[in-house]
Amino acid sequence: MDLLIGADGLARCGWAGSTADYLAYHDVEWGQPVRDDDALFERLTLEGFQSGLSWLTILRKRPAFRAAFDDFVIDKVATYDESDVERLMADAGIVRNRSKINAAINNAAAARDLPDGLSAFLWSYAPEPGRPRPQSFAEVPASTPESTAMAKDLRKRGFRFVGPTTAYALMQATGMVDDHLADCYVAVKKRPRKATRGGGR
């Protein structure tokens, strides 16, 4: 279903109601702007690890990912060598996929080399604000021209595991786009208040 009324009486995007993990992620993180380079690198890395898996799996493993990847500090991960790859492959707390681990290390080095930083680069692809909110999930795209352009430029700069769909999921997760449905309480909170006439308080 598109919207779900929670036990607290609030209407939420339907996907948020299946688990407590999703509910907390929906209410606190999803669609909120993220502009810190290391925080964006974390989201980019986790979106890559999510490929072929459920996002719930990644959410529940995120504390272990953070511990294993030095809190996703770009300058640290960029220096990882083969011994770190083997350490990560032995860590049962994360997703042990050698290609994805190597991509994360590679992407840290690519992010470190961006002249203006990862945040400035990624946010340059955010669409202009003001587009209508989706009324249903049928209106939410899997990718957009902006996410396609972002993915293409990331790959050109040496990043891996960053197709248009992954790029759009990143944009949704970090507030570059806000796909909370129009009647979700998170969206309702963000609606500008109508100005009142007269000198009322």
Helix (H) or strand (E) holding 196: none
CA distance to 8, 81, 94, 133, per residue, from 34 (Å): 27, 28, 23, 20
**For residues 37 and 111, is the Cβ–Cβ distance under 8 A?**
yes
Helix (H) or strand (E) holding 58: helix 55-68
**For residues 46 and 56, is the Cβ–Cβ distance under 8 A?**
no
For residue 96, say whether it is annotated as part of any ligand binding site. Answer: no
For residue 155, say whether it is annotated as part of any ligand binding site. Answer: no
Sign of CA dihedral 151, 56, 172, 34: negative
How many of the other CB atoms lie within 10 Å of CB of 40? 24
Count of residues in the chain: 201
Could you give the residue numbers annotated as active site? 25, 47, 55
What residues pair up with 12 in beta bridges, in sequence order? 4
For residue 26, say whether it is annotated as part of any ligand binding site. Answer: yes
For residue 68, say whether it is annotated as part of any ligand binding site. Answer: no
How many of the other CB atoms lie within 10 Å of CB of 131? 9
**For residues 72 and 5, is the Cβ–Cβ distance under 8 A?**
no
Q: Which residues are known binding-site members?
A: 13, 26, 180, 184
Q: Which residues are known binding-site members for Zn(2+)?
A: 13, 26, 180, 184
